[in-house]
Chain A
Amino acid sequence: MVNDKSLIKLEDVWKIYQLGKVELTALKGVILEIFEGSFVSIVGSSGSGKSTLLNMLGCLDFPSKGKTFLKGKDISLLSEDELSQARGKIIGFVFQEFNLLPNFSALQNVMFPMIFQGIPEAERVKKAKELLISLGLKERICHQPSELSGGERQRVAIARALANDPEMIIADEPTGNLDSVTGTKIMEILTDFHKNLGRTVVVVTHDPKVARYSKEMINIKDGEIISDHSNSNESLWKK
């Protein structure tokens, strides 16, 4: 399923934060390419630089040094608006804290990315409802995030990430705030997205159990990629 088309490519990416007088190097010359149709997990302990790496892969941040290519285009050459637009279309985000907009219903939250892509209202509502129903949230469509459980919130967040039919989902500790049963369900949804639609999934996690769902595992430590290998445990994947 993996083809050789590059979706995101990091070329010698450095990220240096200036914290007062102290310089903190979060990424040290990372070279990484994510291909279409891959399922990659980025594993590292707290402080390893994995969230910074995720920001780079999600085109949410620019490197201090080096280049990021989104579908072959150098993102530093895109305007802010072009980048936002491309991000909204190509990448869907799932965050550890769900990051739903608290004042809007589940349905409205799922519709947001489509609003920003200029999709007409009728189409938006239809698509958002379909997504929520397919994720088992039929009874929760009009609920506010505060009225939903953690698992339900994360499913709404996944529905939102899928709203614009993205080519890739980037998930940052998607199970971090969930119990293990709910966490498993969330990972199964992401796996299905990859398996059934052939789309790319990148999961950032510190939890080896979560990483086992992926086909490729990248270990990061102190801002450097220390290993990059195919997942030996194919049993989960094949089930």
Chain B
Amino acid sequence: MEEIRDYLKIAFQNLKTRSLRSWLTILGIVIGVFLIVSLLSLSEGLKTTINKQLKAMGGEIIIVMPGDESNPFASMMVGGVELEREDISAIQKTEGVDKVITMSYSSAISRYNGEGKTTFLGGLSLRDGQEILSRFEGWTIGEGRWPIFGKNEVIVGKKLAEDIFEDNIIVNSDIMIKGRKMKVVGILESLGSKTDDSFVYMDMDVYENITGKKKGSAQMAMVKVSDGVLINDIADKIKLALEKTTKRRGGTDAASFAVITAEKVSGIANDILSVVQAVIVGFASIAIIVGGIGIMNTMLTSVRERTKEIGIMKAIGAKNSAITSIFLMEAAIIGFVGGIGGTALGTIMAKLIEVYGQVHPMFYFSAVISPGLVLFGLIFSLVVGCLAGFLPARRAAKLRPVDALRRYE
């Protein structure tokens, strides 16, 4: 044990005397570990955020929207295709469906205290939806109340109320949307996504009046299933029902609808993110391996430069194992210090991005730095250091004292 401590001291001192070179080599490892830790913690955070939002969507809710299920995120952006009145009634008639909330959205210029801004408008069938939204989607009115049906009343998201206009929107103030005066009767608590928090929400009737949208249609629908049914079965039935109605309407060219459950989306999202993470680990590992080659290069140079030193140490009684240990420890220290630096920098970077995400209109983003990730960063770099040091250390140990000391006559 004492031996190991002694060798460790010697290794440290050797590195210290070549400090610039040691630090540059360490930097190589720092960069690799930094990449792994920062990118993985961010992608893990992304996973958590998505799963959190999907959880907010509710396990008993099915979402129907135009597009394809394999890419539900893109379909949100696709405009044009809508659920027609007959589609919606087909959904309502499907066995096991309890309630359907329809939803439409668009953007329009809103004026508040004379200041005009483009905002998102959201129309919801609040008559049926209010209860579901508050019970299953986590919609809570922070201030004020829900709109009364038939009146020109709206509620606004938290971000819209606080950040978009110069003046904070207050309850019972007026907001002009498309030239119509609406009364803000409530401000929602945050819904967990910056986009969702930037909406002006109103009853579907009011929305139709303002935007001139076709009556009875909607861009998407949220379906609450009856208690005790299997949600994925109902989703399949809805899909079938929709296929029938669309076929009747437009033949084979009919637009398809994505019928999504939280389970399905989280499966897809996690699949995508797992691939992303694998790619990150792959690339960052390459960076660490390059760092490892840097260690090997430094150590080989060091063995060559210190040939005489090695000879002296052997002459005064160093065993091969002592020389191997000293060189291996030097490489391991470089790797480990690089690991510590990379983990620290990666953590800082991830946290910075997290803070940046919170003040900018992206979505809420958290960096997840798990102990496992930190441990992985440290151990990986240590292992790379040891592997990279192995060959140089062996080469050093194999030197014969007389060759190392040789002075040709």
Contact = CB atoms under 8 A, between A and B. Distances in A.
A87 interface: yes
B400 interface: yes
Contact of A116 (B17, B309, B313): B313
B317 A117 contact: yes
A80 interface: yes
B3 A88 contact: no
A164 B316 CA distance: 10
A103 B317 contact: no
A164 B317 contact: yes
Interface stretch (B280-288, B319-327, B372-380): B319-327
A85 B317 contact: yes
B166 to A, nearest CB: 65
B318 interface: yes
Given A84-B314, A84-B318, A121 B17 contact: no
Given A26-B409, A46-B409, A116 B315 contact: no
Contacts of A92: 316
Nearest to A121: B2
Contacts of A116: 313, 316-319, 322
Nearest to B308: A99
Interface residues of B, number: 27
Question: Quick one: which of B3, B316, B401 has the most chain A CB within 10 A?
Answer: B316
Interface string A173-194: 0000000000000000000000
Nearest to B14: A103
A48 B409 CA distance: 8
Which of A26, A49, A115, A120 has the most chain B CB atoms inside 10 A of its CB?
A115
Contact of B317 (A89, A96, A100, A101): A89
A88 B2 contact: no
A58 interface: yes
Which 10 pairs from chain A and chain B are nearest by CB? A88-B317, A61-B402, A103-B17, A116-B317, A81-B319, A113-B316, A60-B402, A60-B401, A116-B318, A99-B312
27 contacts: A46-B409, A50-B409, A51-B409, A61-B401, A81-B321, A84-B317, A85-B317, A87-B315, A89-B317, A92-B316, A93-B316, A99-B312, A99-B405, A100-B312, A101-B309, A101-B312, A102-B309, A103-B14, A103-B17, A104-B13, A112-B318, A113-B316, A113-B317, A115-B6, A116-B313, A116-B316, A121-B6
Given A61-B400, A84-B319, 12 more contacts: A47-B409, A48-B409, A49-B409, A52-B409, A60-B402, A99-B312, A101-B309, A108-B13, A112-B316, A116-B317, A116-B318, A164-B317
